[in-house]
Amino acid sequence: MRVLGFMTGTSLDAVDMAVLETDGEAIQAFGPAGERKLTDATRDIMLEATRRALQWPRGAAEPEIFAAAARAGADEHLAAAEEFLVANGLDWSDFDLLGVHGQTVLHERPQEGRPGRTVQLFDAQWFADRTGVPVAYDFRTADVAAGGEGAPLAPIYHLARATASGLEPPLAVLNVGGVANVTFWSGGDEIAAFDTGPGNGMIDLLVQDRGAGRFDDRGRYASVGQVNEAVLRALLAHPYFQAPPPKSLDRYDFSLEPLARMELEDAAATLVAFTAEAVRLGFELMGQTPREVVVAGGGRHNPEIMRALAERLPCPVTSAEDHEWRGDSIEAEAFAYLAARTARGLPISYPRTTGVPQPMTGGRIARPNEA
């Protein structure tokens, strides 16, 4: 089937889009990919929805802003997709299915005696009605309800992508988004995965908090800063790093407070080191040294992050483009792939990727109303 996948990350940067032809197992072909930057209005309502979500007591009615934000996100996706279709000579009728992640505004991992919570906002029924194409969405809720972490979900696609490229195990695929997550492929269908720690999300929040832009473009602040080893050790003392995988994070699980008295450049350099050292600790937890780690996601555009990873990891570090992958589109491709698996009732999460008790399907499908 031909599927158009969508992803908006916690960085609130853009709607990423990618076309796959797949049966949810093999990848038959890669279609076009692209992005459209989020409007300020959509970014603002999602930030406010996130703020409300972080204050939302368990058991209380969901914040009213969720519905408005879900519709705003669907509007944004529709505008992005229509530009994308025109640019690539496509029409909605060319697709069998759409796969939409939605905007994460809350992700709480399960704790002893307390189930997890995860919220991705998107008005899937409205989107299906406007496009005339079935929409697979809400990929995480079923996993969380079954006791899983709800993240990461891309590992099964990482395996399919590596296989399509002829790569061989042992291999690691590291996605550096707002949060960083890693997939270890040890051979066959054996995959394990977890969130290693912050990706570029804390750096984004730091730069925004200091009024210095939306992100550290090309690592220009971090490149002239000095790592504060004492602050780095304090950040790494968080109990998350000793917890066994699988495990997951929200980009707001770590505070910028330890960096409050530091110059912007030194704080950025320290957070780059934090990202890389957290990945190194993740490799230690797994007790595996892959032949290489392939880095995807927005963080690979920061030369300081890539340099720190190369210095600290026990294997060669390559970028997605080194293998002719579309590094900015991997997650959009992943949700196209997961949509196909959802449509076929195939598993999308596994005991060693999210901690769910057994391989399980996930996602729901909104079908267009005839009217």
For 180-194, the pLDDT digits (tens) are 999 999 999 999 999
Q: State the average pLDDT over residues 339-358.
A: 98
d(CA 18, CA 322): 19
Distance CA 325, CA 152 (A): 19
**Which amino acid, one-letter code, is at 231?**
V
User: pTM (2 decimals)?
Assistant: 0.96
What is the separation of C-alpha 256 from the centre of its chain, rounded to a whole number of angstroms? Answer: 21
**Does residue 296 sit in helix, strand or coil?**
strand
**Average pLDDT rounded to a whole number, residues 223-232:** 98
Q: Residues, the chain, total?
A: 371
Tell me which H or E stretch contains 235: helix 229-236
Q: 317 and 343 in contact (C-beta within 8 Å)?
A: no
Residue pair 334/5 in contact (Cβ under 8 Å)? The answer is: yes
Res. 370: pLDDT tops 80: no
Q: Using CB atoms within 10 A of its CB, is residue 249 exposed (0-12), middle (13-18) or buried (19+)?
A: buried
- For 190, the enclosing helix (H) or strand (E) is strand 190-198
Q: What H or E segment, with its residue span, contains residue 312?
A: helix 303-312
The CA distance from 198 to 202, in Å, is 6
Q: Would the pLDDT of 288 be above 90?
A: no
Evaluate whether 2-148+329-366 and 166-323 have a shared fold: yes
Q: Are 364 and 136 in contact (CB under 8 A)?
A: yes
pLDDT in tens, 5-29: 999 998 899 999 999 999 999 999 9
Percent of the chain with pLDDT over 70: 100
Tokens 């007790």 correspond to 287
Q: Read off the pLDDT of each residue in 209-230 and give the average, rounded to a whole number.
A: 97
Distance separating alpha carbons of residues 363 and 143, to the nearest angstrom: 9
Q: Which residues pair with 54 in a beta bridge?
A: none
d(CA 338, CA 348): 6
Q: Is the dihedral of CA 204, 17, 142, 279 positive or negative?
A: negative
pLDDT tens, residue by residue, 237-253: 999 999 999 999 998 89
Which residue in 302, 277, 310 sits closest to 197, CA to CA? 277
The CATH number that domain 2-148+329-366 falls under is: 3.30.420.40
Question: What tens digit of pLDDT does each residue of 42-98 get?
Answer: 999 999 999 999 999 999 999 999 999 999 999 999 999 999 999 999 999 999 999
From the CB of residue 139, how many other CB atoms can be counted at a distance below 10 Å?
28
> Could you give the CA distance from residue 35 to residue 9 in angstroms, rounded to a whole number?
12
**Sequence spans of domains, the chain:** 2-148+329-366, 166-323
- Map tokens 């079923």 to a residue: 142
| pLDDT score of 140 | 98
Share of the chain above pLDDT 90, in %: 97
On the question of a cis peptide bond just before residue 170, with omega within 30 degrees of 0, the verdict is: yes
What's the CATH number for 166-323? 3.30.420.40
Nearest in space to 307 (alpha carbons), one of 248, 234, 223? 223
What is the Cα–Cα distance from 116 to 343, expressed in whole angstroms?
Answer: 25
All residues at 6 or more sequence positions from 189 whose CB lies less than 8 Å from its CB, including other chains: 159
The stretch 147-164 carries a mean pLDDT of: 97
Provide the residue type at 112 as one letter: E
- Report the alpha-carbon distance of residue 279 to residue 286 in Å, rounded: 11
Q: Is the CB of residue 95 less than 8 Å from the CB of residue 2?
A: yes
Average pLDDT, the chain: 97
Task: Give which of 77, 88, 79 is closest to 19, Cα–Cα.
Answer: 88
- Per-residue pLDDT, 251: 85
Question: pLDDT at residue 371 above 90?
Answer: no
